Amino acid sequence: MKKSYILLLLVITMVSLYSCTSESASEPMLIIKFKFDPNQARLNNFGQPSTIPAGNAAQSPIFNTLGSHYIELAPNANTQLGQGTIVYHGAETTIGGGNAIDFSREKIVAQDEVFLKIPLSQVTAGSYEWIRVSLAYQNYQINVRSAGVDYAGTLASFVGFNTYLTTFNIGNNIFPVNGNRAQGYWAFGLNDQPYSTSGQAPAGATTVPNPINSTSPIPLNSCVVTGRFASNLVIDGTETRDVTVTLSLSINHSFEWHEVNADGKYEPAAGENVVDMGLRGLIPTYVK
C-alpha cells in the first residue's frame, strides 16, 4: 500500500512538472482578429472622408462574416506592396482560367474570431507603421424594398481581385457558378423567403482606401486596404507574450447603389443596381 502511494505521488509530480514545462515553453503568437464598425469614418480610395455621390444611396450592413486573402506589415509609407512582411497569403487556383482566390479554401470568420494565429518567431523583427489587408469576401444582412414592403436579406459580396467559385449557398438559396468572378460579384437571398438573385458591380467601382497611395500604390481591383497603427507595432524577437492585432473595418454606408426611386431604400425590383461594396477604412490596434 505504501509503495503504491509513493508511486502515485511520483506520477502526479511528473505530470505537474511536464504541465508547467509545457506552459512555460509555449511560444508567443501573433493573433489577428477583425472588427466591423458602422460609426468609423467613411473614406474614399485615398483615405479621405467620403460622402455618398448624388444619385446614389447607401446603408451600413449588419455583418456576419468576412474573408481575407492577404495580410502584410509595412515598415513605412514608402514600402511597396509585397516588400513588407507578409504574414498571410490565402490559397489561389487557375482552375477557372486566370489566377483567382480559391473560395473553397478561404478562411472566413466573424467579428472577434481569430483569423490568424502564427508564432511570432515567424514574423520578421522590425518596426511597422502600416498594415495592408486584402479583403476578399463579405457576408452581411441588408434591407431591401419591393412593392412598398421592406424585407431583410443576406448578401454575399466577393470583392477580391478575382474569385473562383464552384457552388455556394445563402441559406436555402443555391448559386452554381463553377468559374471565376471578377471583383464586385454579388449574390443575394431574402431571409426565410424563396427569392434570390445575383449581379456584378461595375469594374473598378469598389472602394479600397489607401492613405499612402502617393508613395505606395496598390494594383487596380486588388482590394488591399491600408491602415496605420497609432504607434508603430514593434516586433523585436524577445516577446514572451502574444501580440493581438485587431483590424477595425469601417462599414459606414459601405453598401451603395444607384437610385431609381429617390427614397434611400434599396429596390432591386425597380432596377436599382449595386455600384460599390468596398469597406470604408481600416484602423489597426494591438495589445502586447
Amino acid at 247: L
Question: DSSP labels for 191-218?
Answer: TTSS-EEEEEPPTT-S----TTTTTS--
Q: Shortest CA distance to 71 belongs to which of 56, 85, 60?
A: 85
**pTM beyond 0.85:** yes
Between 105 and 5, where is the model more confident?
A: 105
pLDDT in tens, 154-197: 999 999 999 999 999 999 999 999 999 999 999 999 998 888 99
- Hey, which residues does 58 pair with through a beta bridge? 256
Question: SS3 letters for 213-249?
Answer: CCCCCCCCCCCEEEEEEEEEEEECCCCCCCEEEEEEE
Model pLDDT, residue 193: 84
Q: Shortest CA distance to 227 belongs to which of 111, 73, 90, 96?
A: 73
Helical (H) or strand (E) element with 6: helix 2-24
Q: Shortest CA distance to 157 belongs to which of 257, 70, 226?
A: 257
- pLDDT band at residue 25 using 50, 70 and 90 as cut-offs: low
Amino acid at 189: G
- What is the average pLDDT across 126-147? 97
Asked if residue 232 has pLDDT above 70, the reply is: yes
Asked if residue 12 has pLDDT above 50, the reply is: no
Q: How many other CB atoms sit within 10 Å of the CB of residue 45?
A: 15
Every domain of the chain and the residues it spans:
30-287
The residues, any chain, with a CB within 8 Å of residue 217's CB and separated by 6 or more, are 81, 210
The residues, any chain, with a CB within 8 Å of residue 90's CB and separated by 6 or more, are 67, 68, 69, 70, 101, 102, 105, 106, 107, 136
